[in-house]
Structure 1
Amino acid sequence: MTAQDDQLQKKLSWVYLFNLVFYIIPLFMVKFSWWQYLLMALALIGFLYCYFWAYNCPRQQMYKPTLGIIAIASLITPINPGSIAMFSYAGFFIGYANPLKHYLPKVLGLVLLLIVLEAMLTIHWSSFLYIGLPIVLGVSFLGWVEQQTMLKRLSQQQSADEIKQLAAMVERERIGRDLHDILGHTLSSIILKADLAEKLLARQQPAAAQQQLTELSTIARDALSQVRQSVSGYKHQGLTAEVAKLLSRLRDAGFQAELRGAIPQLDSRYETTLVLALTELVTNVMRHSKGDRCQLSFTHTSKHLHVELADNGDAVAFIEGNGITGLRERLSAIGAELTLQHDAGFTAIIDLPLKAH
């Protein structure tokens, strides 16, 4: 899901509340006591809290607000049978959050609950089941369809990520081959020139030795230029575009991802290193974090850049592997420092002094 899609869904969460019309209509058609109006208002507030809780939590945790909605709807049904609208939202979240083998028994349990309420309570709506059941089942099925659409989108995103990873692997192999070809020939030439200069000095021929050392220096500079050209073959779409992709990946993985601060304009070397570093850190969050929120923030001046990636997962210390070690080395090459913290969640901080360009 893109950032634009995420914002659109948040706006539509209010639109989807139109089904509450079934709950509101009785307020204008039936005369209630003041305490009944109060209870219905409290029930509506409790429902809205659970609704937006469910809308913003990971699917694995959606059962908690869903149970809250079912409890509120069950308690208010004897007063306002328009609570069937609340049951329909519970049905939607059941459909959206569960695979088919769990969805079917749970939605069946919801149907049985409605039948039991009809049998045991005095419900002032003769069509509570006849109209309510089709609504609940229909909305629940829409939730399951929405889940399948989301899973298909995630599968496509995963395929795209795998293609990108394959392309990156091919690029690394290309760089390795280029470096092997460049350095193999160049180092042989350097050794030859150095040995020859040493022999000439031993023969008291400093002018000839100086010529060999001059040629050795030229060979080394040419090799350095060729290595830089080979390594610079890594391409990306810029820091801003890559950050947007990383935030989108986090949201697709179930995180509420937030960007704070303005993304600065940097030279290509700094941007490439930061893109690779943030990609590594975001991948670690997606693999190891048990949280559901992640914040990426940029704070910068003309002389310093501070980048912070933090999640709300369990703060458990870990042993740094080759990935983090390589990340520190890559950042050190541009003068940046990586700090990892395990306080209220996991936090990675990149501090980069900026040079005047």
Structure 2
Amino acid sequence: MVELEKRLSWVYLVNLVFYIAPFFYIDYSLIDYLWMMLALVAFVGCYYWIGRSDTTQMLLPILLMALIASCITPLNYGSISMFAYVSFFIGFAYNFRQFLAGVAALIALLVLLDHFFIKGAPYFLLYGSALVLAIGVLGVLDRIRRLTMLKEQRSAEEIKQLATMVERERIARDLHDIMGHSLSGIVLKADLADKLMQQQQYELAAQHLKELAQIARESLSQVRQTVSGYKHKGLAGEVQLLSGKLRDAGFAVDVQGEMPALSAREETAVVLILTELVTNVLKHSHGDQVQIHFGETKYGHQVMVSDNGKVSELKQGNGLTGIQERLAALNTKLEWQLSPSSFSFILPKEA
């Protein structure tokens, strides 16, 4: 928008028609014409100088424009239009107090010119003062408009940067939750295959290696999906997969209750939270039984993962931090207890 206005800045020079008009109905000498043309060229040069300057660098060209207008006034009373440009740029470049001081100085200059040089133009001072004041106010309004536009642009950039940061955090959190679980499964399958091969149970070892390859392929697919948004098989399907991986690791799994109907956003969050909690069981639990419980309370849908392992202390790493961030986005929080370990949360019905 600003660049477009710069390209069309010549359009605003049309107001100099009031300066050029006397060329055609007043009988000037050749020297007078030359002086007036020289003043016009210098004035237009200062105009484009201002257009390419920062507001902190406009003082000199503004003063030169005022000087040119003052010097040419005894020859051409249409210089009033030049003073209007000066007033506009003062309003545009400076704060309101400075604008008032600048306009007062311009009107004082018009008074002096009217007193010493103006002949046969009784309304020069009246018209000039009114024009300077009115056009100056337009400059002030344009300054306010530009500042508002800049603030909106900065706000839009800040929102874009914030959205980028949020997306990076989401990808990092999803990669941790998804890949942590997948890599745990790969390690588990590799260890089982190694033990079976040592026991010369090659067929079972080959089966586990096939499953390991499948987990690796799914992990690659999930990494790609994480960039554009995690896609899963639904809460029931993911719980079934998680239960299978727990059973492969030697846990007895009991899924209780009826799974709730959730929005896509809630379901994705619950799937990733359950994935992280099951990963923690596979990594740290010394038990052999896991219970995944779904229930209803008066506050909302309850989800709980518990096992009979004994844990003396809980170290909060990236996994638990990611869970808490996901739950905070759903206006809830994670609760837990140790020995036996139990992790639960309640999804508010209005979430």
TM-score band by shorter chain is: 0.5 to 0.7
Instruction: Give me the whole-angstrom Cα distance separating, in 2, the residues matched to 1:62 and 1:123.
Output: 33
- The yes-or-no answer on 1:10 pairing with 2:7 is yes
Instruction: Give me the whole-angstrom Cα distance separating, in 1, the residues matched to 2:92 and 2:5.
Output: 18
Instruction: Give me the whole-angstrom Cα distance separating, in 1, the residues matched to 2:208 and 2:174.
Output: 26
- The yes-or-no answer on 1:103 pairing with 2:94 is no
The CA deviation string for residues 179-211 of structure 1, in whole angstroms up to 9 with x for no partner, is: 222012111111112222332333344444343
2:72 alignment partner in structure 1: 76
Deviation of the 1:83 alpha carbon: 1.1
2:27 alignment partner in structure 1: 31
2:141 alignment partner in structure 1: 145
- The yes-or-no answer on 1:224 pairing with 2:213 is no
Instruction: Give me the whole-angstrom Cα distance separating, in 2, the residues matched to 1:117 and 1:211.
Output: 102
Whichever of the two has the greater Rg, that structure is: 2
Instruction: Give me the whole-angstrom Cα distance separating, in 1, the residues matched to 2:72 and 2:229.
Output: 65
Partners of 1:193 and 1:216 within 8 A in 2: yes
Q: 1:101 to 1:201 in 2, by over 3 A?
A: farther
Gaps of 5+ in 2: 231-351
Equivalent of 2:41, from 34, 45, 61? 45
Counterpart of 1:136, as a letter, is V
Gaps of 5+ in 1: 235-357
The CA deviation string for residues 120-171 of structure 1, in whole angstroms up to 9 with x for no partner, is: 4466633321211111111111111121122223333333334333433333
- The yes-or-no answer on 1:89 pairing with 2:110 is no
Deviation of the 1:173 alpha carbon: 3.1
Deviation of the 1:223 alpha carbon: 0.9
Instruction: Give me the whole-angstrom Cα distance separating, in 1, the residues matched to 2:77 and 2:140.
Output: 25
SS at match of 1:31: coil
Counterpart of 2:148, as a letter, is K
Matches within 5 A, 1:80-229: 80-121=76-117, 125-229=121-225
Deviation of the 1:23 alpha carbon: 1.0
Matches within 5 A, 1:227-246: 227-233=223-229
Matches within 5 A, 1:244-263: none
Percent sequence identity over aligned pairs: 51
Partners of 1:78 and 1:124 within 8 A in 2: no
Partners of 2:6 and 2:51 within 8 A in 1: no
Counterpart of 1:10, as a letter, is R
Matches within 5 A, 1:253-292: none
Deviation of the 1:87 alpha carbon: 0.9
Instruction: Give me the whole-angstrom Cα distance separating, in 2, the residues matched to 1:221 and 1:102.
Output: 69
Deviation of the 1:115 alpha carbon: 2.5
Partners of 1:81 and 1:123 within 8 A in 2: no
How many pairs are equivalent?
230
With 175-184 and 41-50 compared, the bigger mean Cα shift is at: 175-184
Instruction: Give me the whole-angstrom Cα distance separating, in 2, the residues matched to 1:165 and 1:73.
Output: 48
Partners of 1:118 and 1:129 within 8 A in 2: yes
Instruction: Give me the whole-angstrom Cα distance separating, in 2, the residues matched to 1:101 and 1:205.
Output: 91
Task: State TM-score, norm by structure 2.
Answer: 0.59
Counterpart of 2:40, as a letter, is L
Instruction: Give me the whole-angstrom Cα distance separating, in 1, the residues matched to 2:61 and 2:203.
Output: 85
Counterpart of 1:213, as a letter, is L
With 43-52 and 84-93 compared, the bigger mean Cα shift is at: 43-52
Deviation of the 1:112 alpha carbon: 2.4
SS at match of 1:149: helix
Deviation of the 1:79 alpha carbon: 1.8
Q: 1:135 to 1:122 in 2, by over 3 A?
A: closer
Instruction: Give me the whole-angstrom Cα distance separating, in 2, the residues matched to 1:104 and 1:206.
Output: 93
With 66-75 and 139-148 compared, the bigger mean Cα shift is at: 66-75
Counterpart of 2:134, as a letter, is G
SS at match of 1:78: coil
Q: Whose relative contact order is higher, 1 or 2, with alpha carbons under 8 Å and at least 6 apart?
A: 1
Counterpart of 2:65, as a letter, is I
1:64 alignment partner in structure 2: 60
Counterpart of 1:215, as a letter, is E
